[in-house]
Amino acid sequence: MNELIQTVLIYALPVVFAITLYEAARGYTARHFGDTTAQAQGRLSFNPIVHIDPLGTIVIPVVLYLATGGAFLFGYAKPMPINYGQLRDPKKNLKWIALSGPAVNFVMGFAWLLLLSVILRTMQVEEAFFLQMAQAGVLTNLAMFAFHLIPIPPLAGGQILLSLLPHQMAYKFAKVEPYCFFIVMGLALLHLLQYWMLPLMVAGNVILQVLITPFLLLLG
């Protein structure tokens, strides 16, 4: 039981930040393109507390992690309110709003990797908890990065695809959106989701390792 509690604590902060800042990034990007809905509702903030959904941000990730032995992690924050009618060019702006979430996950992955490098090279940290949390931060954000790029709306990958398709094809493809949860869960239960996520996570990790190299040289 103690080991279980420690695992939950290790992943708690990385998961909460990965999920909630994803939504915050979408809100800020939408405002950049003219939509002030999130700002009007007090949701335009990088404060995770503003975006936490008790069920989707805390309960579901914990239950899925325990039920799958860490093989599958999924969660969500309060959906960011976006009024696409306020955007200057909804179809073109959509892809940038969609990309902003995975981009923030990638940046957070880099930040956790940098923290891990600093801890290992410059600090005398005997407690493994902090090292494991930094490692969990890298893994969690790479997983979220890959997951959100699945090309099924309303996930970011699906929204990017919608923005690139001709109007008629995009309209037809958007009809898949209500079934997204069932499609993703089906792929996960059939162990097919890994064939999408693992290559993206590996590629993302390779890029992170390249980006971190100059900082490692500075740390000595």
Residue-wise pLDDT tens digits, 190-219: 888 889 999 999 999 999 999 999 998 887
| pTM higher than 0.75 | yes
pLDDT, tens digit, for every residue of 120-129? 887 766 668 8
**For residues 57 and 204, what is the distance between their CA atoms, to the nearest angstrom?**
23
Phi, psi of 127 (to 5 degrees): -75, 120
Q: Which of 11-15, 71-75, 97-101, 177-181 has the lowest mean pLDDT?
A: 71-75
pLDDT at 36: 92
Q: Which of 36-50, 93-107, 206-220 has the lowest mean pLDDT?
A: 36-50
Domain ranges of the chain: 2-219
> Residue 104 in 3-state DSSP?
helix
pLDDT at 22: 92
pLDDT at 190: 87
List the one residue out of 39, 47, 141 whose CA is nearest residue 80: 39
**For residues 211 and 206, what is the distance between their CA atoms, to the nearest angstrom?**
9
Question: Is 80 exceeded by the pLDDT of residue 72?
Answer: no
Is cis: bond before 154, omega within 30 of 0? yes
Placement of tokens 């939408």 in the chain = 30
CA distances from 31 to 28, 88, 91, 132 (A): 5, 10, 15, 36
Mean pLDDT of the chain: 87
Question: Is 70 exceeded by the pLDDT of residue 69?
Answer: no
**For residues 173 and 4, what is the distance between their CA atoms, to the nearest angstrom?**
41
Question: Is 90 exceeded by the pLDDT of residue 101?
Answer: yes
Angle subtended by helix axes 194-219 and 128-148, to nearest 10: 130
Phi, psi of 12 (to 5 degrees): -55, -55
pLDDT at 66: 67
**For residues 126 and 33, what is the distance between their CA atoms, to the nearest angstrom?**
47
Question: Is 90 exceeded by the pLDDT of residue 84?
Answer: no
**For residues 34 and 128, what is the distance between their CA atoms, to the nearest angstrom?**
45
The token pair at 34 is 């003219």
Question: Is 80 exceeded by the pLDDT of residue 60?
Answer: no
